[in-house]
Amino acid sequence: MNFPSKLIENAVEELAKLPGVGKKTALRLVLHLLKAETEDTKQLSEALLRMRTGIRYCKTCHNISDLEVCSICSNPLRDRSLLCVVSDMRDVIAIENTSQYKGVYHVLGGVISPLEGVGPSDLHIQSLVERLPTSGVKEIILALSPTMEGDTTAFYLTRKLKEYPARISSIARGVPVGGELEYTDEITLGRSILDRTAYSQG
């Protein structure tokens, strides 16, 4: 792809690094920004920089947050007897969009994947174990994607948490096997949360 300007080429190269954005789409975005008001482009770049430098992670659940404790953990109306364990902050967003869940969360930061070199110590599992004794949690919902890595992580967690006196359940398999939670439609995901079942180690 030939560019009339090195500045445009550099901008296209950077945007094309984003997931799902090819060079043609990146070029279209760059040309749009070039035609836009300078102030609009400035506001976009400043918003991205503020997001990258100012974002924090909740000290309780590890979800993204503007403050030390996220808005979900600090909300007195949330049901603290329900704890939903997810692999990624995108899963929190997906579940919240269903409006079917009123408990709190714990974000693992990934799933166990030996092929990718991700083990239990690379995830927020220990902080989950340490959080439980004083949390008042009565049910732990494993809302992990129904993939091999998700099932491996769920199995490990049930072994790790078996001494804790709480029911361990998993979301119903209305979510397609091999699918990712964040891409599941809100109705199916919401129904999976409501129809969760006791977790079985098989």
Its pTM stands at 0.76
> Please, what are the averages of pLDDT over each run of 10 residues along the chain (202 residues)?
87 94 94 94 94 93 94 96 95 92 96 93 95 92 89 93 89 59 66 65 54
Q: What is the CATH number of the domain that holds 140?
A: 3.40.1360.10
Note down the domain range covering 97.
78-170
- Do both 151 and 110 map to the same domain? yes
Alpha-carbon distance of 171 to 154, in angstroms, equals 11
Tell me: the pLDDT tens digits for 4-34?
Answer: 899 999 999 999 999 999 999 999 999 999 9
- Do both 82 and 161 map to the same domain? yes
- Do both 28 and 106 map to the same domain? no
Our count of domains for the chain comes to 2
- Do both 162 and 103 map to the same domain? yes
Q: What is the CATH number of the domain that holds 41?
A: 1.10.8.420
What is the CA angle 157-123-103, rounded to 5? Answer: 60
